[in-house]
């Protein structure tokens, strides 16, 4: 059995890869850029932010600095290539565990 590692990834702009390994999404925090309503979509098994399966979606109002936080005590499972797609968000912090 592999050890689970607790990790965090900070993403900016349009998002990016969270991890290559299987694991669970534990929490997410993101901040609106204020221009438009901001959104974050977490995808399972995506290598570039397209395709894959959506495992979580959240949004914030079009108010600069509006912050959203969600915690998942049981985790949201992903098999591989967890990817975050950001729109109108200045940054996002994703907490997760993986089996790397």
Domains held by the chain: number:
1
| DSSP secondary structure of 15-68 | EEEEESS-EEEEEEEEEE-SSS-EEEEEEES-SSSSSSEEEEEEEE-SSTT-EE
Asked if 60 and 32 touch (Cβ cutoff 8 Å), the reply is yes
Structure confidence by residue, pLDDT tens digits, 28-51 = 999 999 989 999 999 999 988 888
Range of the domain at 81: 5-98
pTM for the structure as a whole? 0.89
| Average of per-residue pLDDT across 66-83 | 93
The CATH number assigned to the domain holding 11 equals: 2.60.120.340
């Amino acid at each position: 059995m592999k050890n689970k590692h607790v990790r965090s990834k900070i993403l900016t702009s349009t998002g990016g890869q969270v991890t290559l390994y299987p694991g669970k999404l534990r929490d997410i925090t993101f901040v609106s850029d204020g221009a438009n309503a901001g959104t974050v979509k977490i995808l399972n098994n995506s290598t570039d932010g397209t395709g894959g399966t959506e495992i979580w979606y959240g949004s914030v109002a079009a108010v600069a600095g509006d912050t959203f936080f969600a915690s998942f005590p049981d985790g949201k499972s992903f098999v591989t290539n967890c990817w975050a797609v950001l729109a109108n968000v200045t940054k996002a912090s994703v907490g997760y565990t993986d089996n790397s």
